[in-house]
Each structure stands twice: as structure tokens, then as C-alpha cells.
Amino acid sequence: MDGRTKLVAVLGAVTQIILSFLGYHYMDAHVVAVSAFTFARFGVSPYGWCEQAMCSMWYAYPPIPFLLVAPFYKFNLSPLAARFAVKIPALIGSVVLSHAVYRMTGDSRRAVLLTLNPLLLYIGPFRGHFDALAVGLMLESYVELRRGNGLLAGAYAALSTLTKQYAPLILLAVLLTPRTRKSFPKFMAAAIAVGTAISAPFLLENPRGYLEAVLGFHMGRFAMNYGFFGLPLIAGAIRRLFVPIEPPSSVPSEISLLTGIILSLPLFIGALRLYERAWRGELDEENALTGGVVAMLGLSKVVNIQYFALLAVLDVSLLQWVLLTISGMVKGFDLLKSIPPLDQSPVFYWAPEALKLDGTKLDGLSRLAAFLLYIPIALKLKELTERIILGTKRHSGNASRD
């Protein structure tokens, strides 16, 4: 690592620390913070209770995020210190992701520049999302798979999955390729052992709450935001601009679950096609990894801005990163929903003024702008879907490259 790269690394670290004190997402970071606080002070996990006003959108993650934050909330923290504490998973994730990308590519400059990536700065140190940690651990697993170390790969995969749930869908494609499938038994043994050690206490304590959080909630979700190449985003914009009818605030749970399952079919079918191509040897490990990421970001019914940490796998231009970052900021005025007063702790709920704009024509305009800014990434995902998942478009270059 040369002197300039080291300087960038220091600048990235300082920038991330500063941003960690400035903002947090009014709902997502609060849910993690209050879950960690309650666990630290009272020993009650988020799978056994919910904040009454937020039960319908409660903690829907595996345990690692709140477990990383909980030790800090044993202490009486100032509001700014509490903000920093809830960003611990995001800050660790930045280091892990950069390390994993360096191991994948051998390019220290590319790895270090991720610490100053505009989208990763926005979703992680600023808003408090921990997707970089899940992606970094997933890529560490990928590196170990390519090296034939099934046990370590399985351990990393379990840690990634217990941070956020999308790693299995992506890594299975890699595992099915001819060169890595021999690692499958060791991979699964390590993944099950590590996964059980961390999740078993919560699963045994409250099996229904745990399974609802990590599986049931997501199965019943409707299409949102950047899912299906952004169709929900543009549809939401059109509805708010031209159809002044509020959708029902709630639907029967059975209908919600059935609709959610139906909307999951494109991802399910796309993943099966990807797995088939990987098993037949039509894809190498890198193509399989890229295909898994593309399936998750292009075919999933729900894709939120923080999911795009997965783009670290691909070659994305700085302009595309910047446009996507601005898209995430303007959509639903989310930037304004992530700038609480400096004396506000994430442990206590804060209602942004921008919430009053939800459902209005201004909200519709914000979503239209967000969709237009997202188009370059949508086109990239479409091209990669055709080439890697469907196999209908030939390309002579590397599958993870433009």
C-alpha cells in the first residue's frame, strides 16, 4: 500500500467517524438501538417483544446486529455516543468489506476507496445500516470457497447470514459450480455449527418470534422501492401524482402472505435458472457470484437503498454510485428523515417533519426523481440478468465488468 492509498484510508476512517455522529435513520436505526438497549439492560431480545407503535415494522434481522451494539448500551451514553454505538456494525462492516474486496481483487486502491464510496458512507456511517458487514462476510466466504477452505467459508457464510439474510441465495450459486461443490459438506457443517451456536438461544427462547422476524415478515412483504428493477418505485410515484386514493392500511395476514409469496416467484425462478447454469458448468465462481447479486438486486420484490452495498461486487462507475446515492436521498425525502437534532438519541423514537409529506404529490415527485437517477444501475442489472442468469446475451468480457 503506497502513501497515497494510506492517506485515503485515513481520510475514509475520519470521514466515517464524523458521519456516525451526524445522523441515523429515524426508524431502522431506532429499532436496532432500542432492541440492543432492551437486551443489554433487561436481557429481553427483540424476538420476544416490540415497541407498541412499531410492531408492524419491528426488528426483522438475525441477532448479530443488535448483539454488536448491546454491550455499549449497558452504559449511560450521551445522545451522540448512543448514535456512534448504533453505528458499530456499519463501521465494522466498512473494514470487513474493504478487506474482502482486497482479498478478491488484490487491488488495495479499489478496496480502500470503498471507505469513501458515497453510497456506502450514506447507508452505513450516516444512516446506520449494516449491509456492508453482511456483504463483506459473504465475500470472505466466497474467497475461502475459491481457495478450497470449506470450513472457514461456511463459518463466514453463517456470520453473514446472521447479519442479513441474503447471503445463502447468492453463495449457493457459487457452491454449485464444479470447482467448489466438493467443499459443500464441510461448508454446510461449519455453517450449521456457527449458525446454531449464535441463533439457538433466541430460537429456543421464542421460536415463533424468531422465525417471524427472520423469515415470516419478509415472506409477507409487498413489492417495494427498487425491487423488480425499480417498478414499485415508479408505480408509487404515479399513484401519488395521479391517483389520490390511499391503499388499505392493512390486509388480512393470509392475503398478505399469499401475495408476498407470489411476488417472490421472479426471484425464485431466476435463482433456479442461475443454479442450473452453475451446476452445468456454464458459469465459473465469479460469474455465479455476480449472478447471485444481480438476482437479489434485480428480481427481488423488495430492494431498499442499503441493499446496494452488494454492488461492491461489480464494477460500478463513480457517476453511477453518486446518482444512486442521490436517488436514495431524495426518495421519500429519506435524507430529511435521517437528520435528527443533535440531542436526540436513537434509543428514543424521533418523528421527522418530513413524514408529513408521505403520500403527497411531493412524495410522488421525489420517487419519480429517485427512479430516473436509478436508471443507469437498472440497465446494468438488466444486461447482467440477460447475460448471466438467462444466458441469452453473449459477452466476451468478465461477467462482473461493464
Q: How buried is residue 280: exposed, middle or buried, by Cβ count under 10 Å (0-12/13-18/19+)? A: exposed
Residues 246-273: tens digit of each pLDDT: 655 556 666 776 787 888 899 999 999 9
Residue 55 banded pLDDT, cuts 50, 70, 90: confident
Provide the pLDDT for residue 198: 97
What is the predicted pLDDT for the residue at 249? 56
User: Is 258 a domain residue?
Assistant: yes
Number of domains in the chain: 1
Name the residue among 89, 147, 153, 78 with its Cα closest to residue 346.
Answer: 78
Query: Does residue 52 register a pLDDT over 90?
Result: no
* Lowest-pLDDT choice from 51-60, 121-130, 228-237, 380-389: 51-60
Q: What is the pLDDT of residue 250?
A: 59
With respect to residue 394, please indicate whether it lies within any of the assigned structural domains. no
395 part of a folded domain: no
Segment 372-396 shows an average pLDDT of 89
| pLDDT tens-digit readout, 149-199 | 999 999 999 999 999 999 999 999 999 999 999 999 999 999 999 999 999
Report pLDDT for 396.
46
Mean pLDDT across the chain = 92
Spatial CA neighbour of 117 closest among 34, 19, 230: 19
Residue 90 C-alpha cell reads as 456499519
- Is residue 200 predicted with pLDDT exceeding 90? yes
CA pseudo-torsion sign 317, 323, 327, 328: positive
pLDDT tens, residue by residue, 80-111? 999 999 999 999 999 999 999 999 999 999 99
Supply the DSSP string of 7-52, one letter for each residue: HHHHHHHHHHHHHHHH---TTHHHHHHHHHHHHHHH---TTS---G
Residue 153 resides in a domain: yes
Q: Which residue has the higher pLDDT, 191 or 399?
A: 191
Q: 319 lies in which domain range?
A: 3-389
Rounded Cα distance between 166 and 173, Å, is: 12
Model confidence at 57, pLDDT cuts 50, 70, 90, reads confident
Q: What is the pTM of this model?
A: 0.93
Whether residue 145 contacts residue 45, with contact meaning beta carbons closer than 8 Å, is answered with no
pLDDT band, very low/low/confident/very high, at 222 (cuts 50, 70, 90): confident
The number of beta carbons lying within 10 Å of the beta carbon of residue 102 is: 18
pLDDT at position 130 over 80? yes
Per-residue confidence (pLDDT) for residue 251, from 0 to 100? 61
Give the bridge partners for 302, in sequence order: 224
Q: Is residue 65 part of a domain?
A: yes
Share of the chain above pLDDT 90, in %: 85
Whole-angstrom Cα Rg for the chain: 20
- Please check the confidence at residue 53 and state whether its pLDDT lies above 90: no
By the 8 A CB rule, do 300 and 227 touch? yes
Q: How many CB atoms lie within 10 A of CB 239?
A: 17
Query: Is residue 82 a part of any domain in this protein?
Result: yes
* In-domain check, residue 197: yes
Could you tell me if residue 206 is left (phi over 0), alpha (psi between -120 and 50 degrees) or otherwise beta?
A: beta
- Looking at residues 327-349, what average pLDDT do you find? 97
Residue 211 lies in a domain: yes
Among 174, 166, 165, 383, CA closest to 274: 174
pLDDT of residue 217: 80
Q: Is 307 exposed, middle or buried (0-12, 13-18, 19+ CB in 10 A)?
A: buried
Residue 253: exposure state from Cβ atoms within 10 A (0-12, 13-18, ≥19): exposed
SS3 percent helix, strand, coil of the chain, rounded to 5, is 70, 0, 25
209, pLDDT greater than 80: yes
Residue type (1 letter), 199:
S
Taking the C-alpha atoms of residue 244 and residue 231, their distance in angstroms, rounded to an integer, is 19
Candidates 163, 139, 166; CA nearest to 153 is 139
Average pLDDT score over residue span 298-323:
96
Beta bridge partners of 303: 225
What pLDDT is stored for residue 381 in this prediction? 97
pLDDT score, position 111: 95
The number of residues in the chain equals: 402
